[in-house]
Amino acid sequence: MLPSVASLRVRGRRGQGAGSASVLTADGFLLTSAHVVEGADQAEATFTDGADVTADVIGRDPLSDLAVLRARGAVPPPVTLGDAGRLKVGQLVVALGNPLGLAGSVTAGIVSALGRSLPTKAGRVVDEVIQTDAALNPGNSGGVLADSRGRMVGVNTAVAGVGLGLAVPINETTRGLIATLMRHGRVRRAWLGIAGGQAPLPPALAAKVGRRSGLRVAQVVEGSPAERAGLRRGDVVLSVDGQRIDTSTAIQRLMVEHAIGRRLEVTVWRNGALVDVVAVPRELTDA
């Protein structure tokens, strides 16, 4: 796998940077972290055999911290993708990348936690992040986290502290995001326009719905689909489109492309009663 992991040199509007990338396809698609190529249109990829190739940034998704590039020349064979959903705490993993400019570096460790959430600059979180004690250093971002069978199960994305690293998982969801970036250069998401936190339900309601918590709305954005649907601050959201909701992340998972423009039924607890409203999410934009 190591020959298929490149060192990236990035030059963009924000100055120079470095990171790592892996070969996704034989025809030159590379995978890295979105923050590695932020503000850049191109990068120079160097492989362990000394080969250099210019790669164009095809698409990036800051909300998942994933990006794809397309090399202009020949690349080594692609890495083998695994499934992070099969990982277990305590399992051996290996981080491959370009820390501190040392191309071809390998560090080993174990999975120390699963299901972490990683906040992004875009104000959302990446779900199901892998936490590992494999040493990660500046330049590792965008590199490969591999299991003991040499399958890529994550994209190293951050150094969270001494002896602690995080990786975006390779799973069904992120495979879909990567494929979308390869085809369209961006990922479309829906937007509802509420913010809040988990809140306990009254005992009688908890017994009725079979769970103990919901999402208490702390803010409804002015002019948002949520406001137009009649959602209010203080509502406790129980479900959206039939899916149980008790955290902001649970709503975020539903705000995918096919939700844009769809009528979604939202069930809330308001003033001692269950209330149903219909919201129509809009496409999330940088604005």
Q: Which residues are catalytic, by number? A: 35, 65, 141
* Cβ count near 174 (within 10 Å): 22
* Cβ count near 179 (within 10 Å): 12
Q: Hey, which bits of the chain come out as E strands? A: 5-12, 15-23, 29-32, 42-46, 52-61, 66-71, 92-97, 105-119, 125-132, 144-147, 152-161, 164-169, 190-191, 194-200, 213-220, 236-240, 243-244, 264-270, 273-279, 282-283
What type of residue is 163? G
Beta bridge partner(s), residue 46: 7, 52
Indicate the SS3 state at residue 123: coil
Interior/surface letters 91-114, b for 16+ CB within 10 angstroms, e for the rest = eebbbbbbbeeebbbebebebbeb
DSSP state of 227: H
